[in-house]
Structure 1
Amino acid sequence: MFSPSRDQARQFLFDSWAKYRQAQPLTDLEKIALAVILRHPEYHAMLDAPERYLARDYTPESGETNPFLHLSMHLAIEEQLSINQPHGVVELYRALCQHHGDEHRAQHEMLDCLGEMIWQAQRSGTGPDGQLYLSCMRRKAGLGE
């Protein structure tokens, strides 16, 4: 299992963006990252300045969204959708897309659910609860529990 450090994960995003900007070939994973990055133009200037942002901390107290966490969570969702894990996530993603009329908005709803699941797991000291995640997605898609 690949478990990059914070700086390695950030560097991957910086490198994917730089390769795209320099018209260099991208790996398949970099292509997925690039698609996520292109949907977030608000982060492009940051990705152009790795020397300034690689080590920057984003704390809840600062009130700023951590752009690296945001992009990484999108990548996690892309992986979940590619393998339908947890089972049923693809169907619920489609329901969210239909409910909101927009794939990116649907993924942001999923981000909220993913964040909630992670927070609950950290709070309770347990593993992630895929059913909690899917239940949240059902609610956000207007499907009840």
Structure 2
Amino acid sequence: MARRVFLSYQHRDQMKAKGLNLATYNKNVKLDVSMRHLLDPVNSSDPAYITRKIKEQLKGTSATIILIGKDTAKSDWVANEIEWSREKGNALVGIRIEDGAAVPEGLTESGAEILDWAKPSDVQEFAPAIERAIRGTARGANMPTNSIATCRR
């Protein structure tokens, strides 16, 4: 069963976000998730409208993946997406896409697992990390332990 996952990232990392989204269609990658995201910028400068669009994408998701690049920890929008995800009970997983990139405070506070985009062993852990994180939330507390997503698309 594919998990619905929200993808959070800082705008300068848009191409990596698109790459991760494409990986969900790769039969050789064990990442059975359905991504929700705003890969194309919202055509507005109205913060209330942008917030509504982000929250629409968060609906129905059980986890949030945060891509951690050079400027991610400085992004107010990413900080908001982490907070909104936490408020709705989403599991959080960070994926560091640049060496030495600072982890956003909200991820540190929540104890989220942080994986490394450049380590093949970590890439194989993306789906299991999502499942581990979900089991750590209130909604995942009663989930069977054998439900780790290892299906190939």
- Give the structure-1-normalised TM-score: 0.32
Which of 1 and 2 has higher RCO (CA within 8 Å, sep 6+)?
Answer: 2
Q: Which has the higher strand share?
A: 2
- Give the structure-2-normalised TM-score: 0.31
